[in-house]
Amino acid sequence: MKSRLSGTLHTCLIPAFHSYSTAKTWHARILSNMAGLCAGLMVVSAQAAFQAVDNFDDLALGDINGQNGWVVKLTSGEVAVDPVAGSNQALKVSTESGTVNKPLNVAQDTTRMLFLRLRFEEHGRYSFGLSPATNPDEFIDFGPESGLAEATASDPNDDFRVANSLTTGIYDILDTLAPDTWYNTWISVNNTSDTYELWMNSDPGGDAQASDQMANDAAETLFGFRTATSNDLINFFIKTGGGNSPVDGQFYIDDIYLEDTDDINLNNPVSAVPIPAAAWLFGSGLLGLIGIARRRKSA
């Protein structure tokens, strides 16, 4: 999914050289007001601190191994057309007890917000997160680990879970997800305390709200890394496990972003830039001003 920011900024940059202080006509003043509003929009965009890791749109369809730093082992990882939006591309992974990873860095003693979108079409065992290992291979190579639990006879639900070393078990079940649904996911990774927090919603392009923070059955929202580390987290890591699941499954990930500060950033980096209230000038208000200018010019 591509951000719709670039087109807005391109439009705004066209009249940016006009100066209100030197404007001699109503036409010039209108252009100056437009430039001022555009400058405000550009300030908003400049404050966004999410940096794109991969949105897969510029990659070739098919096997992702070797593309843009991705490494695939013993599973199927491919660039595929979004099953919902045909103009969008995403990473599609099948559960065949393999791995997919790409270099990504969260330095020791920093906190970073990881954003991505995820979707599944069939039940399977999937885990994704970050790893300090150079060549991650097993579930114990995860720091923060999230994903879908393997379906069993006693629990056939599509349970979303996280590894949590702060409790006695390996995993905590947080929620039950629905197939064929894109979920926005924010993960705040603290690589000082080896803990993390999660937010999730299915609002297309929507930001996370306080109510979107995920908790376990004990109402705890802070989770411990699967394996503690004193090193940098250096790989975005996906681990699949066929196990006893009746199908290989189809799991999609798209729009991976990483915050470049310690801030808790709950914005959606792939949503449209919010337009300030004063930007009514770009709508009916702007048309009204243009009409006034034309009438004055013809008078």
* pLDDT (mean) for 166-171: 92
Q: What is the pLDDT of residue 293?
A: 46
- Using DSSP's 3-state secondary structure scheme, residue 9 falls into helix
Q: What is the pLDDT of residue 25?
A: 44
Find, among 13, 11, 33, 38, the residue nearest to 23 by Cα: 33
Q: What is the pLDDT of residue 125?
A: 87
Confidence of residue 28 (pLDDT cuts 50, 70, 90): very low
Instruction: Specify whether the CB–CB gap between 121 and 255 falls below 8 A.
Output: no
The yes-or-no verdict on residue 107 having pLDDT over 80 is yes
C-alpha distances out from residue 181 to 69, 86, 240, 245, Å: 27, 15, 19, 20
Percent of the chain with pLDDT over 70: 72
Name the residue with higher pLDDT: 52 or 283.
52
Instruction: Specify whether the CB–CB gap between 144 and 258 falls below 8 A.
Output: no
Q: Using CA of residue 281, residue 285, residue 288, residue 289, what is the dihedral sign? A: negative
* Helix H or strand E encompassing 41: helix 26-47
Encoded tokens for 125: 């065992």
Q: Which domains does the chain have, with CATH numbers?
A: 5-48+284-298 (no CATH), 51-259 (2.60.120.1160)
The yes-or-no verdict on residue 283 having pLDDT over 90 is no
The four Cα atoms 239, 243, 246, 251 give a dihedral, to 10 degrees, of 0
203-249 pLDDT per residue, tens: 999 999 999 999 999 999 999 999 999 999 999 999 988 655 555 66
Measured distance CA(136)–CA(141) in Å, rounded: 6
Q: What is the pTM of this model?
A: 0.75
Confidence of residue 68 (pLDDT cuts 50, 70, 90): very high
140-158 pLDDT per residue, tens: 999 999 999 877 777 778 8
The yes-or-no verdict on residue 291 having pLDDT over 80 is no
